Amino acid sequence: MTSILEQLKDSVSNALIAAFGAEMADKDPLVASTSNPKFGDYQSNVALSLAKPLKQNPRAIAQLIIDHLQIEDMCETPTIAGPGFINFMLKSDYVGNLLQEIQPDERLGIAQVESADKVIVDFSSPNIAKEMHVGHLRSTIIGDAIARILEFRGYDVLRLNHVGDWGTQFGMLIAYLREAYPKALTTADALDIGDLVSLYKKAKVRFDEDEEFKQTARQEVVNLQAGAEDSLHAWKLLCDQSRREFQVIYDLLDIKLDERGESFYNPFLGDIVSELKETGLLEKSEGAMCVFLDGFTNKDGDPLPLIVQKSDGGFNYATTDLAAIKYRVKEDKATRIIYVTDSGQANHFAGVFQVARKAGILPEDVEVVHVPFGLVQGKDGKRLKTRSGATVKLKDLLDEAVIHARNDLETRFKDYGREETPEFIDRAAQVIGLSAVKYADLSQNRTSDYVFDFQKMLDLKGNTAPYLLYAYVRPQGVSRKGDINFSQLDSNTKILLTENTELALGKSILQLEEVIKEVESTLLPNRICLYLFELSQKFNQFYEQCDILNAEEPQKTSRLILADLTARTIKLGLSLLGIEVLERM
């Protein structure tokens, strides 16, 4: 379906051409949905923007546009407000017809892109032998939502887990394990990730203190990079161990990822450096090979370098990312590459993108975007940690969310004297707890820091997962109570939007498409959350004001269809965020 917004934009564009000539063809019609129903459903500011170039009064321009508009079937006659805004109010018949049209469609009329371009979403990407931390949790949740949205739109999405599985830290770790815990290098499952993390820390201490150990560790890296059998074997064991731990989290959160870690690009790193040399971008500075960046300077105003090869010959995080871009462009044929990491890596990516463009590794027509996000904080506004001050383990955090959800459910059921089976409670607690964590993260503008607060995220009121899940459950309750099969409602029924709450709800249902398209370019999933929240509020107003089951036909079926469409819209919207629904709660 062409969204209402797109149809309006087209109509205004046509009116501009009809009123002012063909040179208006490229003019943005500046139509947007309004947040205040006082201004109608949509508004255009185009008349204001034309006042200067056309040397005319904006209200007069607005009137001319309206005179040339052909939208009688969509809108009431547009009105002019203030200095020259054009306000559009959708006709209820038009809204009703569109709802009827999308009712039989599983995708609710939401269009797919014409060509399934390849898009890479690089997300989650924890580091081997280190604990997956809350930053990786954010990347996982946000990256997965972005991937789901783009998949739904029909892109060919490759979900890549760029795990940190290569580099000097492995030399250090293997060298340390050789002396302290040799079994770990030959036997699977000799260690769990907790052990690995603490051994890693000890190895780091040795590395910083002991010159001889440092040499041994360096030699280990050389062995590993040269493909020495026993070093590779040890490295693989360490990776497997971490991978199993990460997988627990991915399974819990229903995250699908293809692992292509840093090690994958190892064979290409040397070529990247040679390529940079050929383009003349490479410079030697203090023994390191680097490219000096435009627009990035240190305190003294000197240009900052992107180091691609250290003085000891080792390659960097940035070198790997350059090799990854090359591979993703040439082999994967990506047209858009999206990186989801904390904002702390913004400069890293800006530098890498700049060098990749200059070196011709990244062609003009391939878009690269860093999708940054803020920190996760505790209620005290500081970095999230456990009561004892230790870093929070992700598994514990998710388990705790489920426990909180279970407590809430049990209290509520007890208050209402509801008897539910343990299986029902288990599953409901699991869905609510995990959704709450995902939704709390996604509903914030990702660029800001966010406060992790179980109580708030599980609140039944407010912009939370439980509120939305509940709005989904209500129509299901209607269907059970009235013994109605939503999938068998007569799709020839005209949708009647006589009450204000019906019309407002109907309009809201039709907006999902424009919201999805917006997120496709802004990559801000919180927009979908806000939309679903508003839709749920409108549904609740409708539900309180309009009797569904006791209404006379044809109003009854019309209202049932509205309730079903709302539920399906919520379910679809939540599925794009990686959130499941419950039929009862």
Q: Is 266 in the site for ligand ARG (CB under 6 A)?
A: no
Least spacing, CB of residue 340 vs ligand ARG, in Å:
8
Span from 118-126, 213-221, 540-548, 566-574 in contact with ligand ARG (CB under 6 A) = 118-126
C-beta atoms surrounding 392 within 10 Å: 19
Q: Which of 568, 554, 573, 344 is nearest to 439 (CA)?
A: 573
Give the one residue of 45, 127, 309, 511 binding ligand ARG; rule: CB under 6 A: 127
Q: Is 122 in the site for ligand ARG (CB under 6 A)?
A: yes
Least spacing, CB of residue 491 vs ligand ARG, in Å:
46
Q: How many residues in total does the chain contain?
A: 585
3-state DSSP of 424-443? HHHHHHHHHHHHHHHHHHHC
Give the one residue of 11, 43, 125, 501 binding ligand ARG; rule: CB under 6 A: 125
Position with the least CB separation from ligand ARG: 125
Q: Is 339 in the site for ligand ARG (CB under 6 A)?
A: yes
The position carrying tokens 């599983």 is 106
Q: Is 373 in the site for ligand ARG (CB under 6 A)?
A: no
Residues 168-197 contacting ligand ARG, CB under 6 A: none
What 252-255 contacts at long range (C-beta under 8 Å, 24+ apart), as own/partner pairs, is: 252/395, 252/398, 252/434, 253/140, 253/141, 253/144, 253/398, 253/434, 253/438, 253/578, 254/578, 254/580, 255/124, 255/140, 255/144, 255/578
Contacts of 417 (CB under 8 A, 6+ apart): none
Instruction: Please state whether 108 falls in left (phi above 0), alpha (psi between -120 and 50) or beta.
Output: left
Q: Report the alpha-carbon angle 336-339-343, nearest 5.
A: 140
To 10 degrees, the CA torsion angle through 477, 483, 489, 495? -50
Which C-beta is closer to ligand ARG: that of 39 or that of 339? 339
Give the one residue of 162, 260, 328, 370 binding ligand ARG; rule: CB under 6 A: 162
Q: Is 200 in the site for ligand ARG (CB under 6 A)?
A: no
Residue 245, both tokens:
């731990």
Q: Is 341 in the site for ligand ARG (CB under 6 A)?
A: yes
Least spacing, CB of residue 158 vs ligand ARG, in Å:
13
Span from 124-132, 144-152, 265-273, 560-568 in contact with ligand ARG (CB under 6 A) = 124-132
Which C-beta is closer to ligand ARG: that of 293 or that of 567? 293
Span from 80-88, 96-104, 120-128, 167-175 in contact with ligand ARG (CB under 6 A) = 120-128
Give the one residue of 78, 164, 433, 578 binding ligand ARG; rule: CB under 6 A: 164
Which C-beta is closer to ligand ARG: that of 292 or that of 327? 327
DSSP-based three-state secondary structure for 43: strand
Q: What sign does the dihedral 387-392-393-396 (CA atoms) show?
A: positive
Q: Is 143 in the site for ligand ARG (CB under 6 A)?
A: no
Provide the binding-site residues for ligand ARG, judged by CB under 6 A: 122, 125-127, 162, 164, 321, 324, 339, 341
